[in-house]
Every structure is written in structure tokens, then in C-alpha cells.
Amino acid sequence: MKNKSLATLSPLCLALFAGSAWADLEPFSFGASEQIQHQSNLGHTESRQIADWTSTTQLSGAINEPVGRDKLVITGDVDFDRYKHSHTLDSTGYNAAAEFDWSTVGDLSGALGADSHRHQSFYGESSEFTIVGASTDTTIVKNLRNDNHVFARATLGGQSRWTIFGGTDANKRNYSNDIFRVSDEHQWSADLGTRYSTSPDLSFGVTGNYVRGEYPDGTIAHPDGTSTQGRSNFNSKVISATTQWQVGGNTRMDASLGYTSYYSDAFGGTRHFMNGSLNWVWKPPSHLTFTLSLKRSADADSLYGAGSGAVVSSGNVNGTAINNDAHLDTTYAVTAKTSLEMSADYIDRKYLPQQTLVGEASGSTRTSRVFLTAHFLPTRTTDLSCGAGRETSHVSGSLAIKGLAASYNDNYVQCTASIHFD
């Protein structure tokens, strides 16, 4: 096995282009993909960098079924990750989600749903640092992050000018490796808001959000400057003004600006800061598409991982840093079957003084990523892509001195083949 190419680790590679004449499968859809990637610094460490090849095979399926006035959507995929040299990191991950969208005869509608995710966690990929009190070099270990999330949503008003909406979420995040248990997190949240449309293209609103959560094995700061390990609680209160604006047929903008009050046992007090977000989509009358997302919040996950510019997005958990995120996507359609894509991210996480297992720590991490990809669509159901990118991170303050975070560089190339039937 060690002498075989990574592609042969999955027999699915030989079947990616099979079955292109499948009949209509509605309401079902299926897919498969194979990705080969090389990273120059797999563990995102400052020293003792490890380079490796990775093969990721994915099988996916979905059901999208109308139920009278309502709709049931179920999606899922299984990922088989295999490494050429770092066999201890071999793992099987998954993503699963179910959502039931309901509506009444009147203007009341909503959704009930749940989702679950599991994948190998690496320092710096899409979340704040998750190893507290140990050297960052130990992050190159098998450590599966599990995220479970349930939610309920309701909206009153339908297509009228005035709508009222609300919802509740419960999140649970844990890590399989005991070293990371200090970052296990449970969170509950509720939001309530209203929106008024002055025209079909412009609306304004106000949203309030309350979050309560805990780190079961976290760190608690005491008034005398000492700290102990135990259940560390936190809560946040967010109020935001929002707007949605459709500028002609080519531009759409969603924005918010608000205020956050955030208490945590980790820093033994309350922090106050301005929050905000901006999502801007521009499709000029050409082959180009631009998408820009900005966010300032205390969310643990970045825009790169969460994919949402919301101040508090469903399925996202709070962290211990104040973050400024920026994400840019640019796509150029060369032909109907060929396109080029560029994505860039900048994530600035500021950690004010807080207690950890190695004492009080503060500082910031600044991470930037650039990735270029070329896509080719041989048929309606197949996609071939190859790309390359670079990620860099710089750490300042006592985070680096105490071994809580590390500066690093990582270069990577990847190619993906996928097929999808629906």
C-alpha cells in the first residue's frame, strides 16, 4: 500500500465519470468526489514542519421533498481522509443535516432542523486556537472535532412590508483528543427581530441576540489574579441595526451595525465592543462575479469556515477573542465550461488579558490566505479543478511566549474531480 499512488486509495476515482446517462432522480441526488492535496506545513507549526499528501474521498446524498405546503430537506456526506506518510491522522468524517420548512395558511412560517459535523481539526484552519496550556507542536495529532447543532425558526409577516422573526439554537462542540478537552463548548442562544421594507429592494430592521454557554473543562479567573480549572461560563448580549438593499439587478448588499456586551469567567469580567457585518455581491454585465464579506464579532469561527457574514450565525459558537474578518471571492467565467476563481481571507483575532492553564495571556493572531483555482466542466454533472494557495499567520503578545499560538507559513496545491446526479 505504501508504494501505491494516493489516487488508488479510493476506487471511486475510477468511477467519477461513470453513469452520465442516469435518469432524473428527483427528489434524490447523489455525488462523489476525490481530492488530492499537498501541504508544506500540515500541522501549521513554526518549527518541525511536516509536509504530506492527502487523499479525501467523499460520498454525498440529499433528499429535497415537498410535503404539501411544506418541504423536507436532508443532506449528508462521508469523507475518507488518508495521508501518504502521517497514517496516524487517517480518519473518517461526515456532515449531516435535516431541515423541515413549514408554513401556515396565513403569514406564519418557520423551520426546524439539526446538523452534525465531524472532521480532523488543525490549528489555525478556520477557528481560534484550540489548544490551551500545551505546545502548539503537539497539534499534529489525530483530533476529531465534533459539532452538533439544533435550531428552530419562525417568521410572521410573509411577503408583507413588516415582518417579525425569531429563533433559538443549541450547539455542542467537543474534541476527541484529551489534550483539547479544555476547548469543549456548549452553547444556547435566542434571537428576536423585526424588519420593515420601504420597497421591494430596500429594508431596515433591528435584531437582538442572547447567548449563554460554558466550557465544561475551561479556566476560571479569580479577583486575586489566580485561576482554577472547571466549568467556565460565558454570555453575550447583542443588539444590531440591519439593512438589505438590492441595487439594480447586479448588486446586493446586506449590512449590520450593533453593540455587544460579553461576559466570560475566563477573563473575570465583561467586555464591550461594536459589532458589524457587510455582505456585498456584485455581478457586472460581464463574466465577473465579486463577493465581499466583512465581520466584527466574538464568533469562534471565521468567515472562511462559517461562510456567513452574519453577526451571530446559526451553528456558530462564541470564542474568547474579538475578531475582524474579511473574505473576498472573485470568479471569472472564461467559457461556459471553464472558469477561474480567486479567494482571499484576512482574520485578525485580538485576545485581551484572560486566564489559561499556563497563566494570564493576551495578544493577537493575524492570518491571511490566498487561493487560486481553475474549473473545467466536461459535462453537466462533472467538475474538474486544480488550484494552489498560501496561508500565513503571525502571532504577537504572550500567546506565542506561552506556547498557545504559533506563527507559520503553509503552501498547498490540490486537484479535485467530482460528479453529481440529481
Q: What does the pLDDT look like over 132-151, one tens digit per residue? A: 434 444 457 888 999 999 99
Asked if residue 53 belongs to a domain, the reply is yes
DSSP state of 24: P
- Single out the residue of 293, 258, 263 nearest to residue 274, CA to CA: 258
- Domain containing residue 417: 6-421
Asked if residue 185 belongs to a domain, the reply is yes
Whether 276 contacts 290, CB under 8 Å: no
Asked if residue 328 belongs to a domain, the reply is yes
CATH code for the domain of 400:
2.40.160
Asked if residue 74 belongs to a domain, the reply is yes
Residues in the chain, total: 422
Exposure string over 77-100, b if 16+ CB within 10 A, otherwise e: bebbbbbbebeebebebebebbbe
Compute the distance between CA of residue 166 and CA of residue 297 in angstroms, rounded to an integer: 20
Measured from the Cβ of residue 340, the count of other Cβ atoms closer than 10 Å reads 15
Asked if residue 65 belongs to a domain, the reply is yes
pLDDT < 70 regions, the chain? 1-24, 123-139, 225, 302-316, 355, 357-359, 403
Asked if residue 1 belongs to a domain, the reply is no
Compute the distance between CA of residue 243 and CA of residue 258 in angstroms, rounded to an integer: 12
Structural domains counted in the chain: 1
Whole-angstrom CA distances from 338 to 333, 385, 386, 387 are 6, 10, 12, 14
- pLDDT at residue number 266: 81
How many Å separate Cα 74 from the centre of its chain?
19
Between CA 183 and CA 196, with CA 273 as vertex, the angle to 5 degrees is 105
Cα dihedral angle (43, 391, 289, 34), rounded to 10 degrees?
A: -30
